[in-house]
Structure 1
Amino acid sequence: MSVQDIDRADFVKRWEEWHRAKDEELAAPHGFLAVTGLHWLGPEPARFADAPGAWSATADGVVVDLAEGEELDVDGTAVRGRYAFGTIPERAGRYAGWGDAVLEVARRGGHDILRPRHPDNPLRTSFRYTPAYDPDPRWVVTGRFLPFAQPRPVAVGAAVEGLEHVYDSPGQVEFELAGERHRLTVFPASAPGSLMVLFTDTTSGVTTYAANRSLRIAAPGPDGMVTLDFNRAVNLPCAYTDLATCPLPPAENRLPVAIEAGERIPLERGGRP
């Protein structure tokens, strides 16, 4: 499909609906803007101001010891005293309710963490919207998925210094932009067969967030063809708050071109409306 074939009014309407829904999810009562702390758990029990109980990471997983009068809601069941969340897989998490807050227990980069989410967090209550470039069909690019013979483990850095994430990459996506051919290493996304790419470009640190942006790509067609809609390049949570462990792009995903599409530097980081 060429740019001329796209109904611009419908294109803009669908983008606006998508972007509004993305911001609503981010700023939901227990969305990422509600996070009030990033607590790294160790073998010694520790208490935190924004969560009940004493938390520790043991050989059998995350454990919380609740004091008299303290209670959590785990999967609809009231929990008191000592509770073991069990071993949590990498990039997974469990959630427990505490009043109007939700406590996220997760594992990132081989470490167990606790991230309380409070709806009254000022970062959430003051959020307005995420600045973005005006949607433009010329940033919808056709590419080709180039699968590896076997998925390759790719280690990338993180927004938290010293932390490392490892993803199994199924291959790369090749596409042409402004007469130049580029390749990006991709990772699996949540929907079956779909892909996710982390990247920077020459707008990074100027008009877009310096560390990374993310783009989801629908599953390749039978011929390996894919569509990259850079209008839907989004910020990861680390663009808004330091309480995130977001992955950084692999070195080969630093594009030497300006992708003037998608989300820009958030207002919370000094971005311009």
Structure 2
Amino acid sequence: MTAQDIVSETFVQDWQAWYAEHERILADPHGFLAITSLNWLDETPQRFADAPGEWSTGPDGVVVELAPGEQLQIDGETVTGRHAFGVIPERASLFPKSGDAVIEVAKRGGHDIVRPRHPENPLRTNFAGTPVYAPDPRWVVTGRYVPFDQPRPTTVGAAVEGLQHIYDAPGEVRFTLDGQELALTAFNGRAPGSLSILFTDETSGVTTYAANRALSVGAPAEDGTVTLDFNRAANLPCAYTDLATCPLPPAENRLPIAIEAGEKIPTERL
């Protein structure tokens, strides 16, 4: 086996490990495939068929009124009667338990929501994996991160009609692919210093999900160098379920080339 063969084998093995972990998280018993409803709260108490209690929200945050015989488990404690969750920060979620389910309580786009997650949901139990392009080193690109003078508040649409998300964009990533000079607005990633990029391209709506894909990028080097591995372009939850509130890419993140790499349209959407 040549050195090139070893590098190629390692590249594929690393990608396979990434893909397996991504699929594992997606198919978690309480992951996005387990969601059974998306419920928007207001000041009028509402009861939902897949969650205990009557739910409402107001200036002091989300409240649930549990009827006799109903209960939730919160931080290991059994809760009955009335429980106030308080004001939930934007993009935060709480996960009280109800039997083998969790009842996500969250804020998205300035609105409080209740989103039950049941492991037996057919979307999850029937999940057979996400179609994907074979990994190819040609889609690993070196780019340069260019920070903005100040983070730019960026308003983007959402998978749910009428909903908007606002993110601070710290900068953009510039790179060359197929002879074209390109740039993508980046948001902050989950790990400190890392970046997250939402984009579409010429495959969107053809072989890949139409609305968006996401690419995680490691923290830039001191000179701004970053690696874009489009083999790891991933679907967001809205690619699988209409019960997700995923953000859409900013308008400038529509690439004028076909990125034939990463995850394709889920079987559930075909």
TM range (shorter): over 0.9
In structure 1, what is the equivalent of residue 200 of structure 2?
Answer: 200
1:141–1:193 CA distance, 2 compared to 1 (3 A)? same
Q: Distance in 1 between matches of 2:165 and 2:155?
A: 6
In structure 2, what is the equivalent of residue 267 of structure 1?
Answer: 267
1:171–1:12 CA distance, 2 compared to 1 (3 A)? same
Q: Which amino acid aligns with 2:29?
A: P
Q: Distance in 2 between matches of 1:239 and 1:183?
A: 24
Structure 2 SS opposite 1:7:
helix
In structure 2, what is the equivalent of residue 183 of structure 1?
Answer: 183
Q: Distance in 2 between matches of 1:82 and 1:136?
A: 55
In structure 1, what is the equivalent of residue 68 of structure 2?
Answer: 68
Shift of 1:6: 7.7
Q: Distance in 2 between matches of 1:190 and 1:178?
A: 29
In structure 2, what is the equivalent of residue 231 of structure 1?
Answer: 231
Uncovered stretches (5+) of structure 1, i.e. residues with no partner = none
In structure 1, what is the equivalent of residue 256 of structure 2?
Answer: 256
In structure 2, what is the equivalent of residue 149 of structure 1?
Answer: 149
In structure 2, what is the equivalent of residue 210 of structure 1?
Answer: 210
Q: Distance in 2 between matches of 1:120 and 1:135?
A: 32
In structure 2, what is the equivalent of residue 45 of structure 1?
Answer: 45
TM-score by length of 2: 0.98
Q: Determine what percentage of the aligned residue pairs are the same residue.
A: 67
Q: Which amino acid aligns with 2:231?
A: N
Shift of 1:21: 1.1
Structure 1 SS opposite 2:96:
strand
Structure 1 SS opposite 2:95:
strand
Q: For residues 154-176 of structure 1, what are the alpha-carbon distances to aligned partners after superposition, in whole Å with 9 as ceiling and x for unaligned?
A: 00000000000000000000000
In structure 1, what is the equivalent of residue 33 of structure 2?
Answer: 33
Shift of 1:13: 1.1
In structure 2, what is the equivalent of residue 158 of structure 1?
Answer: 158
Shift of 1:207: 0.2
In structure 2, what is the equivalent of residue 56 of structure 1?
Answer: 56
Q: Which amino acid aligns with 1:86?
A: G
Q: Which amino acid aligns with 2:252?
A: E
Shift of 1:10: 1.1
Q: Distance in 2 between matches of 1:75 and 1:227?
A: 39
Q: Which moved more, 1:8-17 or 1:174-183?
A: 8-17
Total equivalences in the alignment: 267
- Provide runs of 4+ in structure 1 moved above 4 Å: none
Q: Which amino acid aligns with 1:30?
A: H
1:177–1:74 CA distance, 2 compared to 1 (3 A)? same
8 Å Cα contact 1:36/1:121 also seen in 2: yes
Shift of 1:245: 0.3
TM-score by length of 1: 0.97
Q: Distance in 2 between matches of 1:69 and 1:170?
A: 49
Shift of 1:5: 9.5
8 Å Cα contact 1:64/1:82 also seen in 2: yes
Q: Distance in 2 between matches of 1:138 and 1:74?
A: 48
Root mean square deviation of aligned Cα: 0.9
Q: For residues 59-93 of structure 1, what are the alpha-carbon distances to aligned partners after superposition, in whole Å with 9 as ceiling and x for unaligned?
A: 10000000000000001110000001110111011
Q: Distance in 1 between matches of 2:39 and 2:74?
A: 19
